Amino acid sequence: MHISEGVLSGTVLGAGAAVAIGCTALGLKKLDDQKMVHTAILASAFFVASLIHVNIGPVSVHLILNGVVGLLLGLAAFPAILTALALQSVFFQYGGLTALGVNTLIMAVPAVAVHYLCRPLLGRSSQLNFVAGFLAGTLSIMGACLLLGAALWFTDEQFMATSVAIITGHVPVMIIEGLITGFCVSFLMRVYPEILPKKVMLT
């Protein structure tokens, strides 16, 4: 999910870029050598996972999985998502240079938020793992839609109808992402719980 070039006003783009730079710097500060390699290779895994298409009736949507990114990487989700989006724009021209900051925030802020909201629920029981995963998936897409709508609305209030249409149009995606993130998280908790960062780092 991203906003194309040329839509947003200069103010929104500038503010988005400034906040994204700050958040990325914060995320980078937390990364030591070992985590850097880990973050980079997981970022490639997310890039590949986002090429998976699942069917909803006659149409198919691609996975976003920013909920899983948030759960697995915490604050490092900012630089990881920035990197993935930059590579996407180089290879596929999904979004370009000026909207990169705003697009990073749209995807990464909900991802980091669900890390702090849902990570504490994990590891207690298998049902709770699924619920936490479902919440992480749904909320991260919902948050991304809301931020996208807000960015459009701050550009021009006439975009209100478009924003509402985008948010309602994404309700099926929220449910699918919720289910897939739920299954994915319970799978990870069963086979390889060490992949999650040890504790929630609230600093």
Partner 1 sequence: MIDRSLEQGDSFIHRIDPRIRIVTALCLSMTAAQCTHPAVAAGFLSISVVLALIAKLKAGQVLIRLKPLLWFLLMMWLFLPLTFTEDIVYRYGWLTVSRAGVQLCTMISLKSIGILIIFTSLLATMPVATLGAGLHRLRVPDKLVFLLLMTYRYIAVIRQEYNRLIRAARFRGFRPGTNLHSYRTYAYLAGMLFVRASHRADRVFQAMRCRGFTGRFRSLDVYTADGIHIGFLVICGAAGISLLIAERLWLN
Subset of 18-57 contacting partner 1 (CB under 8 A):
24-25, 28, 31-34, 36-45, 47-49, 51-52, 54-57
Closer by beta carbon to partner 1, 46 or else 142: 46
Closer by beta carbon to partner 1, 49 or else 146: 49
User: At residue 109, what is the residue type?
Assistant: V
The reply to whether 118 sits near partner 1 by the rule CB under 8 A is no
CB contact at 8 A, 178 and 134: yes
Which bin fits 189, alpha (ψ -120 to 50), beta or left (φ > 0)? Answer: alpha
Q: What mask of x and - would describe binding to partner 1 in positions 158 to 187, judged by CB under 8 A? A: x--xx--x----------x--xxxxxxx-x
How far apart CA 68 and CA 77 sit, in angstroms, is 10
How far apart CA 190 and CA 203 sit, in angstroms, is 28
Pick from 157, 2, 153: nearest CA to 66: 2
Stretch that binds partner 1, among 74-82, 110-118, 121-129, 140-148 (CB under 8 A): 74-82
Choice from 96, 128, 153, 154 touching partner 1 (CB under 8 A): 96
| 8-state DSSP, 60 | E
Choice from 106, 136, 147, 188 touching partner 1 (CB under 8 A): 188
CA 97, chain centre distance (Å): 19
Within 8 A by CB and 6+ apart from 54, the residues are 60, 61, 62, 63, 176, 180
Closer by beta carbon to partner 1, 36 or else 200: 36
What SS3 class is residue 163?
Answer: helix
Tell the smallest beta-carbon distance from residue 52 to partner 1 (Å): 6
Tell the smallest beta-carbon distance from residue 5 to partner 1 (Å): 4
Q: State the number of binding residues for partner 1 (CB under 8 A).
A: 71
